[in-house]
Structure 1
Amino acid sequence: MTVIIEFNNGMDSKIEKVKINYRGNKITARNLIVSSVFHININEAWHEVQKSALLEFICKGKVKFKPITIKFPTYWKEGLSVKTKMLLYGFIPFGGIHTITFSKIDSKKFTIVTKENDAIVKLWNHKIFIEKIDENRIRYTDKIELYAGILTSFVSYWAKSFYEHRQKRWQLFVSNVNEGV
């Protein structure tokens, strides 16, 4: 197992090689975990993380989504599947049609689980969970299991930078909320 851990600006991230079953075969995939502490009330964070507008805000600069089947709803709903095109850095098409299925949204455990895939990334399972530290601080964690065939290593390092970017944008969002912007 390979583990890479970095600590920067209160953000922890790591990538691990893992063996998983995929379509009847044992394959080497990656687990990616990126976690940060944000100064925001857990209920407010939970309310915001369920909005498609937050996803678009935190991805800005790295990924632009262009929904192709339905518009993104204001709030994500369990069981919803959306098909979208992903444009890296706002203009480079990647992976063809990217499918995002919201398989679980648990307001008691502050957890969202998506199952995602496209022509390049065969498996992109994403779990968001929020933990209360105190009344005004949370730990926000993205955990991703991904497999992209021979591109798994490359995609996992790009995904690490993507989720670090997302959490930096989350921090910007929280700062704007706290300043009343």
Structure 2
Amino acid sequence: MIKKIGLVVLCVCLWFVASAQKPDTTVYYLTNDGRFVPALSDADFLLLVLPPDTNVDKHLFVLQEYYKNGKLRMMGYSKTKTMDLMPEGSQISYFPNGHRMVISNYTNGEPVGDVLEYYPNGKIYNIKSYKKSERPFLKQCFDSTGVMLADSGNGKWMKFSSEGFGKNYVEGPVNNGIDRRVARDRE
């Protein structure tokens, strides 16, 4: 019963947000695997594509993603407002608990500069450095308590599965920013 009331309240709030938007705002409903769906009830989150913020850049559309509970999932910018978004400039993603997930910058849809990834507990997970058309330089990696595992592209690197920070991960040495990892299961 409480879940139904919560869903009704969320739908009403989202309706008010959507109706308060300018007509040039686009709302997309998406699943976690990136599929577009026709209804919020089928979606894992919603994406608002807002008109450009002229205080930032009059050519960049504002992107805001929200979890179904109404918490912010991502803020960023895009050169396009169609379903084929082209990220541009800074972008910050958040875990459902509100902690930062990823801080990145984009140029023409490609990550550039340092990309910072975090654990759900808010601690830094890794830093990768991107240059145009090159593989990322694996700069620093930390465990979930903040202990540094790799620095300046050398040391031990951990990469968790796409399902999140659970049992499955890949680990191994990283030398000069290049990974030399092997797959492992956490015990």
Q: Which TM-score bucket, shorter chain as reference? A: under 0.3
TM value normalised by structure 2 = 0.24
Hey, which of these two has a bigger chunk of helix by percent? 1
TM value normalised by structure 1 = 0.25
Whose Rg is larger?
2
